[in-house]
Amino acid sequence: MGSGISATTVSVLAEGEPDSPFSIRRCPGYAKGIYKNPPEFQTMQDLELHSFKNYPDSPSLGYRKKVDGKFEREFVFKTFKECEEIARAIGSAFYHIGLKDKEFFGVYSENRMEWGHCIDVSALFGFCLVSLYDSFGLENLSFIIGHSKVQTLIVSEVCASKLCQILSKDKHELKRVIVITEDNENKVLDDIRQYQLEVYTWNQLLEIGRQHPVASLPKVDKEDPHYICYSSGTTGTPKGVIISHRSQTSNTLNCWKELDFRRDERHLSYLPLPHVFERIGYSVTHFVGGRIGFYSGNIRLLTEDMQIFKPTHLNAVPRVISRINDVVMKKLANSSSITRGFFWASWYWKRFWVTHGYETPLSDRLVFNNIKNNTGGAIRSFIIGGAALDPSVHEFMQVALDTPMRVGYGLSEIGAGNICNPLSVIHSRPGTVGGPLCNCEVRLEPLEDYDDPLAGEIIMGGECLCSGYLYDQEATDKLFCNAEHTWLHTGDIGKWDQYGYLMVVDRMRSIFKLSQGEYVAADLITEIYQSLHIIDQIFVYGDSTRSFLVGVVVPNKEETAIFFGKDKITDEEFIKLCEENNKQLRAKILKDLDDIANEKKLTGFQKIKAICLEHDPWTVTNDLMTPTFKLKRKKLTAKYLNQIDKLYAETVI
């Protein structure tokens, strides 16, 4: 716990449970039973109709127009009434062009207004939305379109060319494609038509629906699939997680009740909408009548988008927060000693007062508002998901921004929004993910041969649970702990601290055993090593036939230049250094790795003994990271197997 950060009650034993690390824990106030969806809100259709009825003239979905190649410095919005008209038109058009009740349709697009309209269509009419990441490679794209058996696909103009590459060679059941383009003569329309598919533009579909409106909405059942979220594929072929209306409704109401979403909410949609974390941000903001702004599509303009839109909550993954932290730290490192001293004196002063519940207007005005204004200046809390956030980054940013970093926990199979830190800088505990929210319950299952007897696999229960995996009964049966499907394996290892906050120790699938019998938690030590400024990315490797760890490192180009005494180095110079596995640079990185390992008190078997260098970053595009920025360990192992074998052969310890 950071100095001055106190604890509050974030979890309680379920009524009748013994006081044990492996007992069921629930949200305070719900010891007798978890929150259940009320009769009036059983499906996403119920929530959608509520929003359209109560906020007709309020702004709903917005974006920045692009004029002459430049984005305008304002968001333009459609009201809830306008969004309802569009959703009803698209849903009516679906029936007219041949879709049946509850049929699947796919969306393959970057985040944009039409994505939001498709979510509204899915909620209103009960069509099941199959979401595809715009960053998917051809292999995953082809697999999901084939596996889900979608016959109707909505695709953005940006993604259409990639779609054409798989239409020419892969099996699928597509019958019709709707292209989001304002150009009815766009060449891509003819490119798709050559594969004997029906092709429409988005505007043509709208016009069809307006000319052929349906008389009434279909009945939707709470167990109907609402959308299919394909898992990221960190360990192999993606699985289609079935998120029911019951699950999404439960998580939406849960976030509304527990995460302080208000009527004036402003949600900036920049994380991928196919992911459950972003989808829940959309759903709860829509439910409370808030505004949803779609970012400009360029991550380099994200700061500008935030400054213009002024979000009140920001969903973020640790990498985004770490990048903001790195920018601040780099500016500090390049400033004078007087400036650095003043900054840190102000930070410690502010930490003392905010952790005792007081504001610090003078230090904010002199020092910290510049940092806060980079994110728009209106954020009430950051909700962090997808991976662990370094506790030191958590505490520093939380104090500097005077905004809770609400690190939480969830996964595709539970639909997001289930475990989270409290809405208070005083009580948001670095190094933990907080406690269960009102719609779920949590217990730990003991693990054999694990070095901490108080840790166990995190097991989840509640209305938030998914319905299983699409067309994969065997995987579904393995996912759930019981035949009734009321408890679910997460595959993550957790531990309760002394205050009832949950700590995620590691993922079971990223734990491997070395030849001497020691277990290594790869994600945990990767987080530590990657905090070094000279490292952009690191892949830590070990297995049961080896007694020590090795790694593949993507160095930071700017820090590499500094190490060699230069202001900057060219791309060619950087590539050459890495391809030649420059001995000086490797020695420098290994020393830094050893230093931070000692600082963090890592044991000998957790230290990396040898590395090789890589100049090409691992990204979502080259299929070596998931869309939530997790390393795909299986693919990285295959890619670097020869280098790894060579490192082991050449290293003597």
In the chain, where the domains are located = 12-32+313-377+379-460+473-505, 44-300, 514-650
Pairing of strands 291-294, 59-63: parallel
21 versus 543: which is more confidently predicted?
A: 21
pLDDT of residue 217: 97
Average pLDDT over residues 624-653: 88
Q: Could you give the percent of the chain with pLDDT greater than 90?
A: 68
List the one residue out of 301, 310, 276, 269 whose CA is nearest residue 117.
269
CATH of 12-32+313-377+379-460+473-505, one of 3.90.1150.10, 1.10.287.610, 2.30.38.10, 1.10.10.10: 2.30.38.10
Strand partners, 446: 456
* 383-414 pLDDT tens trace: 988 766 778 888 899 899 888 888 888 889 99
Q: Where are the alpha helices (DSSP H) in 43-108?
A: 44-54, 80-97
Average pLDDT over residues 189-216: 96
pLDDT of residue 481: 94
Cβ–Cβ < 8 Å for 376, 312: no
Topology, domain 514-650 = GMP Synthetase; Chain A, domain 3 (3.30.300)
pLDDT tops 80 at residue 126: yes
pLDDT of residue 1: 36
CATH 1.20.1090.10 given to domain 44-300: no
Average pLDDT over residues 587-598: 95
Average pLDDT over residues 579-584: 94
Instruction: HSE, CB side, 13 Å, CA atoms: give it for residue 493.
Output: 22
Q: Following CA atoms 149, 154, 158, 160 in sequence, which dihedral angle do they give, to the nearest 10 degrees?
A: 50
* 78-82, 382-386, 466-470, 500-504: the lowest-pLDDT one: 382-386
pTM for the full predicted model: 0.81
pLDDT of residue 3: 42
Distances, alpha carbon 168 to alpha carbons 133, 201, 208, 223, 642, in Å: 20, 21, 29, 36, 34
Structure confidence at residue 244 as a pLDDT band (50, 70, 90): very high
Structure confidence at residue 4 as a pLDDT band (50, 70, 90): very low
Rounded distance, CA 353 to CA 358, Å? 5
pLDDT of residue 390: 79
The answer for residues whose C-beta is within 8 angstroms of residue 351's C-beta and 6 or more apart is 2, 3, 4, 395, 399
Structure confidence at residue 232 as a pLDDT band (50, 70, 90): low
Q: What is the mean pLDDT of the chain?
A: 91
Structure confidence at residue 425 as a pLDDT band (50, 70, 90): low
The interaxial angle of helices 276-288 and 113-125, nearest 10 deg, is 80
The answer for residues whose C-beta is within 8 angstroms of residue 211's C-beta and 6 or more apart is none
Query: In CATH terms, are 44-300 and 514-650 the same topology?
Result: no
